[in-house]
Amino acid sequence: MTDKKATLNIDSENEAISLPTYSGSLGPDVIDVRGLTSKGYFTYDPGFVSTASCESKITFIDGANGVLLHRGYPIDQLAEKSDFLETCYLLLHGELPSLDEYTDFVKIIINHTMVHESIARFFRGFHHDSHPMAMMCGIVGALSAFYHDSLDITDPRHRIISAHRLIAKMPTLAAMCYKHSQGQPFMYPNNNLSYSENFMHMMFGTPCDDPQVNPVLSRAMDKIFLLHADHEQNASTSTVRLAGSSGANPFACIASGIATLWGPAHGGANEAVLKMLEEIGDVSNIDKFVAKAKDKNDPFRLMGFGHRVYKNFDPRAKVMKETCDEVLAELGLEDDPLLKIAKRLETIALEDEYFIEKKLYPNVDFYSGIIMKAIGIPTDMFTVIFATGRTVGWIAHWHEMLGESVKIGRPRQLYTGAKPRDYSPREGRPAAAKEVF
């Protein structure tokens, strides 16, 4: 609470409405508008552009300055000095672990990577060309059918067991989606490998040979998971919080986050970036596509550019660009044509008045797709990788929300539909003017 008050004067009201304001440790003050309902008003904010839906201690973004903090630690420091599982511990528990705590946490996660054998049978119901995100939505939701011992969401021990299971099993399930699409046998996790080495092994290994994981590529994979771990109240995290506020079990909540992330405006953008670069095809075509992106009458947008919060460089994109250069150098792909188009597109866009005026910079999705394609991950698996990294963020917010007194999320609306009218008999009723659905 601050001693600052917001005073709302409404023409038709005799008295001004006084609203409390609160200051966080960082970021803008907020105005508590809960008192408006008793005065007969709702706030109106489609897309929640100016709405703080909750209080949180997990992640902070300073969009104007391109800053991203996880429990106060800058993302570039974590990407350089930490690893994905240590960042998972930080997001879940609020502090970096001691060496012993880190070792124990890694052991717990590594020992939860297997999935129930029955899960393999679920995949047989999907055609081999099913989109992996469709499979992930179904399979992760179905995990609720297997873990009856940890569904009391009011018990912190159940919540943390579910967190460990989800963080551990997402790479296994992601790799199973890929193997199913390739018609190859599922690979069991190998507990002698690190989290990201294990993922690469389950993705590209076969029962016919011993694990062979390129350390540069597994380190790049670990950074991709780390850079996608959490991002405040983005669309998918807000969905998980809303689902969790009804008391739904953690696996169903995470499945709702996966479904939301799939959209091309959100986590589906990395897949859309690759498709856009392939559609551009050559640097000589870039100007035509930039013109389309600027044309108000053309729905085309430059995928991988722009962000609701960042009005500066997405700090994750900077790290992703460095990782991209490392991976392509390791694989001898420095002359990758898509990378050439991406780098030229970035230069042109950053010098273009439209993008400068609208503060549209490359976001996390702009380079991640190029790295994943170079590693050999098919485009339709890109958002599955994003979901695998983001699961810890979703579950950390779910856990944080349930640790406080939870009110079910239930937004209101501005209703502009028909006013009360009486039913008319069907005989003789005129044809309805059909709204375009």
Least Å distance, CB 303 to ligand SDX, is 5
Per the annotation, the verdict on 266 as an active-site residue is yes
Catalytic pick among 93, 112, 158, 266? 266
Kindly tell me which of 89 and 394 has the beta carbon lying closer to ligand SDX: 394
Kindly tell me which of 123 and 225 has the beta carbon lying closer to ligand SDX: 225
Least Å distance, CB 24 to ligand SDX, is 18
Kindly tell me which of 197 and 222 has the beta carbon lying closer to ligand SDX: 222
Catalytic pick among 231, 307, 397, 399? 307
Contacts with 266 (C-beta within 8 Å, 6 or more apart), sequence order? 234, 235, 236, 260
What is the distance between the alpha carbons of residues 258 and 237, in angstroms, rounded to a whole number? 9
Biggest CA-to-CA distance, the chain: 80
Q: Which residue carries 């997990």 as its tokens?
A: 58
Per the annotation, the verdict on 352 as an active-site residue is no
Kindly tell me which of 70 and 179 has the beta carbon lying closer to ligand SDX: 70
Q: Is the dihedral of CA 47, 51, 56, 59 positive or negative?
A: positive
Kindly tell me which of 296 and 429 has the beta carbon lying closer to ligand SDX: 296
Q: Work out the angle between the directed axes of helices 156-182 and 132-142 (0-180°, nearest 10).
A: 140
Indicate the residue whose CB is closest to ligand SDX. 306
Which of 370, 327, 326, 330 has the alpha carbon at shortest distance from 346?
370
Least Å distance, CB 364 to ligand SDX, is 6
DSSP-assigned states of every residue in 79-138: HHH--HHHHHHHHHHSSPPPHHHHHHHHHHHHTT----HHHHHHHTTS-TTS-HHHHHHH
Evaluate whether 270 touches 392 at the Cβ level (below 8 Å): no
Least Å distance, CB 437 to ligand SDX, is 23
Catalytic pick among 83, 314, 365, 380? 365
Which of 9, 36, 43 has the alpha carbon at shortest distance from 20?
36
Where along the sequence are the contacts to ligand SDX (CB under 6 A)?
231, 234, 265-267, 269, 293, 301-308, 358, 360, 363-365
Least Å distance, CB 79 to ligand SDX, is 14
Residue numbers annotated as active site:
266, 307, 365
